[in-house]
Chain A
Amino acid sequence: MSDNVWIILAAAVVTYLTRAGGFWVLSRFERIHPRVEAGLNAVPAAVLTTLVAPQMAAGGIPEWAAFAAAATIGTRFGMVAGFMTGWAVVIALRAMV
């Protein structure tokens, strides 16, 4: 097998370890400290923010309008509707600019 294949397989193994490892480490402890628990509860909001905030900061009017539309529609009519609206808005505005 080529070097590339070995690197890919090693990458797959370390990636799996990150996915199983957090639970494995945590399950060694009988009680979870409230601060650890609060931290873990914050994981979704914290990670999702990092995937969004830089894109917002680097964006312009079409991007900001897309996020605003996704928020407005999404919080009223559900996430899928918000997502589709935001996407449509960015395509439309970029076509005009």
Chain B
Amino acid sequence: MSSSQFLAGSRRCLPVLVSAAPFGALFGAVAVDNGFTVGEAVLMSATVFAGASQMVGIELFGQNVAPWLIVLSIFAVNFRHVLYSAAIGKHFAFGAEWKRLVAFFLMTDPQFAESEAIVRRGEKLSFAWYLGLGLPLLVAWPVLAWLGATFGKLIENPHALGLDIVLAVYFFGMLLATRNRPLWLPVVAVSAIASIAAWFTIGSPWHVSAGAFAGVAVAAMLVKPEPAQAGPGLGNP
């Protein structure tokens, strides 16, 4: 395990931590508001480790929804990870299989985006680098939930601090970093339209899955299979 690789990964943590921190703490505060103990809020952040789905789960807890429906909703919100896993799983070539299994546990939105950027530059994704980015987040996330659950009401005006928008600004930067990829503009345009339409109709957080699948479908439709690879049965002249 290379410590310089670990540190290189950790250096990418700063913007992620700054932008995710308010949400981690907000989750803790809302969780306690909805009847969780502080310990349960911390447990959920440590084991589920997926912010948007935790928020949805907590919202449903507050409404006395059937347990299986809560679990199903969390599954639905997290379904986008199936795409991440399919896209990057083969680059988790760390030697031992348990390292791949650990890597999947740590695969949050920023973890996927940062790792994908490494792969896209043609560099090798190392386990040390991956842990350097992921472990601080895994430690910070439950700590933030604890802070939020314990001191939740202290931030008086999150709007003035821009805490509602800061994560979107971070993801916007990551999005622009992917701009040289094939079919980037049609994918972004269709995902944008579909996610905005879903946001105003079926509502958050379903706009993520709806928009993502629309963009992915457009890429699959528009791609021109290379003649060398186009064997019989591809069904597209």
- Is residue B217 contacting chain A, with contact meaning CB distance below 8 A? yes
- Give the CA-CA distance A67 to B192 in the complex, in Å: 15
- Give the CA-CA distance A92 to B51 in the complex, in Å: 27
**What distance in Å separates the Cβ of A29 from its nearest Cβ neighbour in chain B?**
10
A4 touches B195 (CB 8 A): no
B residues 71-120 near A (Cβ < 8 Å) are 71, 74-75, 78-90, 92, 100-101, 104-105, 107, 109, 112-113, 116
A54 touches B195 (CB 8 A): yes
Q: Mark B191-223, 1 if CB is under 8 A from A, else 0.
A: 111111001100010011011111111111111
Which of B57, B82, B171, B226 lies in contact with A52, CB distance below 8 A?
A: B171
B53 touches A11 (CB 8 A): yes
Contacts of B212 in A (CB 8 A): 43, 46-47, 50
Which of A4, A20, A67, A82 lies in contact with B101, CB distance below 8 A?
A: A20
- Give the CA-CA distance A79 to B169 in the complex, in Å: 10
A3 touches B67 (CB 8 A): yes
Do most interface residues of chain A lie in helix, strand or loop, or is the interface mixed?
A: helix
| Residues of chain A at interface, number, CB under 8 A | 69
- Give the CA-CA distance A59 to B196 in the complex, in Å: 12
A residues 1-58 near B (Cβ < 8 Å) are 2-12, 14-27, 33-36, 38-58
- Give the CA-CA distance A18 to B182 in the complex, in Å: 26
A residues 57-85 near B (Cβ < 8 Å) are 57-59, 63, 66-67, 70-71, 74-75, 79-80, 82-84
A20 touches B215 (CB 8 A): no
A23 touches B89 (CB 8 A): yes
Contacts of A56 in B (CB 8 A): 168
Contacts of B88 in A (CB 8 A): 23
Binds A, one of B1-9, B122-130, B147-155, B159-167: B159-167
A18 touches B81 (CB 8 A): yes
Which B residue's beta carbon lies closest to that of A46?
B215
Which of B101, B107, B195 lies in contact with A53, CB distance below 8 A?
A: B195
Assess A55 versus B165: contact at CB under 8 Å? Given A4-B61, A5-B40, A19-B105: yes
B215 touches A49 (CB 8 A): yes
A51 touches B220 (CB 8 A): no
- Give the CA-CA distance A5 to B109 in the complex, in Å: 25
B84 touches A22 (CB 8 A): yes
B40 touches A8 (CB 8 A): yes
Which of B48, B160, B211 lies in contact with A11, CB distance below 8 A?
A: B48
Assess A63 versus B165: contact at CB under 8 Å? Given A8-B48, A49-B188: yes
Which of B70, B116, B162, B181 lies in contact with A87, CB distance below 8 A?
A: B162
29 A-B interface contacts by CB (under 8 A) = A7-B57, A7-B67, A8-B43, A11-B74, A12-B47, A18-B80, A19-B78, A19-B84, A19-B105, A20-B85, A27-B89, A35-B221, A38-B219, A41-B182, A43-B86, A45-B181, A46-B191, A47-B80, A49-B175, A50-B215, A51-B171, A58-B199, A82-B173, A86-B172, A87-B169, A90-B166, A90-B169, A94-B162, A95-B160
Please list the residues of chain A having a beta carbon within 8 angstroms of any beta carbon in chain B: 2-12, 14-27, 33-36, 38-59, 63, 66-67, 70-71, 74-75, 79-80, 82-84, 86-87, 90-91, 94-95
